[in-house]
Copies of this chain bind each other. A is one copy, B any other.
Amino acid sequence: MDKDKIDKKDHILDVAERVFSEKGFDGASTRLISGEAGVNMAMLNYYFGSKEGLFLAIFQRKISSFQNILQNLGNDETIGAWEKMEKYIELYGEKIVNNNCFQRLLYQEMGMNRSNDLSDKLRDMLLKNVTELDKILNEGIARGEFKKDIDIPMVIATLYGTKNYILNTPLIASALLRYDIQDEKMIEARLKPQIKSFMKNLMKAYLLNN
């Protein structure tokens, strides 16, 4: 069946996404990935051509869904800039748990700035998400909702940096927050609300005229 084939490819991609995010591209051997996925080693090359092709396929699977999520928000004319900001933070807080492995993998790959097609695509992808936030912030200034001397690029760096710091250093973050952020229940019950709440308060204090 075609369905089984897609499911199997999807399963391989799921496993590979996790293993790559845990071990890095070079650290994750094709033997380990195929072993954990329960498929023969040759299947990786059969389906994805090469290890790099597999790596690329992981990202391509997500890129499309990533693209249009935030775009609607930015173009909404009915709500103010601060409301958009709040909704942006909500969306961004939700995605923390959902794409944990992928986020790790994404920024890990961006870290070592290789000069290949993949890195270029990923950078474009991330910059598109960032652009939406940029629009919201500029709109807020233009409307007089936000202070006019805010540092927009740094705000963006803060928003994503804080999230990445917590996700990418789970042991340190767990020690800081005093609960295990690797535990899915804890993420849902405590981490997500805490991040959202904090980031709203932080942005409120920095962006808004008081």
Alpha-carbon separation in the docked complex, A131 to B173 (Å): 13
**Which size class do A's interface residues fall under?**
35 or more
Alpha-carbon separation in the docked complex, A175 to B130 (Å): 10
- Are A172's CB and B130's CB within 8 A? yes
Binds B, one of A69-77, A85-93, A160-168: A160-168
* Copies of the chain in the assembly: 2
- Are A108's CB and B110's CB within 8 A? no
Task: List B contacts of A26 (CB < 8 A).
Answer: 23-24, 26-27
Contact among B24, B130, B153, B194 for A151, CB-based, below 8 A: B194
Q: Beyond the given A108-B111, A158-B165, could you list 12 further A-B residue pairs with CB under 8 A, ordered by the A residue number? A: A24-B112, A113-B170, A126-B169, A127-B172, A130-B176, A151-B198, A153-B177, A157-B162, A162-B162, A165-B165, A202-B206, A205-B206
Interface residues of A (CB under 8 A from B): 22-27, 104, 107-108, 110-113, 119, 123, 126-127, 130, 151, 153-154, 156-158, 160-166, 168-173, 175-178, 194-195, 197-198, 201-202, 205-206, 210
